[in-house]
């Protein structure tokens, strides 16, 4: 006679644990629960409870993605570009990585990747103009520092265009 290890013993209609409580089972041997059938690995499939548990229907709302709507509507796209340029300019005053961020934000508003690159170049030109305006009367010594000026112009165009490549992903 086998020893009783206090575990569960299988009966025809369910599983009886060491306390003598019988848990209901389905025909395939999986445990029946109130919310559905729980298989041996713990996965519960749909139930028949009155609270709607186990229904696979998900209510789909006809929501148009906001970014796609901004890209296709002219007025929203103009507002999007204005906001993106403002945010990008504010970020570029804090750190040079703000140029990459500004190019990314401007590029995300554009419809296609080539347009995003052109918009990023325009953003870089705008930032370069804002920088020249902020220098005021001391712009002449900056222009005379030739190697630094080349780096300044290259980064004003190149970094936003690098950020605009994010449009190729989204």
Question: What SS3 class is residue 115?
Answer: helix
HSE-up (13 A, CA, CB side) for residue 26: 14
Quick one: tokens of 148?
A: 């630094």
pLDDT in tens, 78-88: 999 999 999 99
pLDDT in tens, 54-71: 555 656 554 458 888 888
Torsions phi, psi for 27 (to 5 deg): -65, -30
User: Is 63:54 a contact under the CB 8 Å cutoff?
Assistant: no
**pTM of the complete model beyond 0.85:** no
User: Is 102:85 a contact under the CB 8 Å cutoff?
Assistant: yes
pLDDT in tens, 97-148: 999 999 999 999 999 999 999 999 999 999 999 998 998 888 888 888 888 8
Cβ neighbours of residue 80 closer than 8 Å, sequence gap 6 or more: 70, 109
Four-residue CA torsion sign, 154, 155, 157, 158: positive
| Dist CA 162 CA 120 (whole Å) | 9
């Amino acid at each position: 006679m086998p020893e009783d290890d206090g575990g569960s013993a299988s009966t025809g209609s369910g599983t009886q644990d060491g306390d003598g409580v019988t848990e209901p089972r389905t025909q395939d041997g999986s445990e029946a629960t109130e919310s559905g059938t729980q298989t041996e690995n713990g996965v519960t499939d749909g139930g028949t409870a009155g609270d709607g548990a186990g229904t696979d229907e998900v209510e789909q709302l006809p929501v148009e993605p906001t970014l796609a709507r901004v890209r296709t509507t002219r007025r929203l796209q103009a507002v999007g570009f204005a906001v993106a340029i403002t945010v990008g300019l504010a970020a570029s005053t804090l750190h040079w990585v703000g140029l990459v961020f500004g190019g990314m934000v401007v590029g995300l508003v554009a419809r296609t990747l080539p347009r995003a690159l052109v918009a990023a170049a325009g953003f870089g030109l705008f930032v370069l103009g804002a920088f020249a305006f902020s220098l005021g009367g001391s712009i002449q010594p900056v222009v005379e520092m030739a190697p630094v000026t080349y780096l300044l112009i290259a980064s004003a165009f190149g970094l936003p265009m690098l950020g605009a490549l994010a449009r190729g992903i989204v």
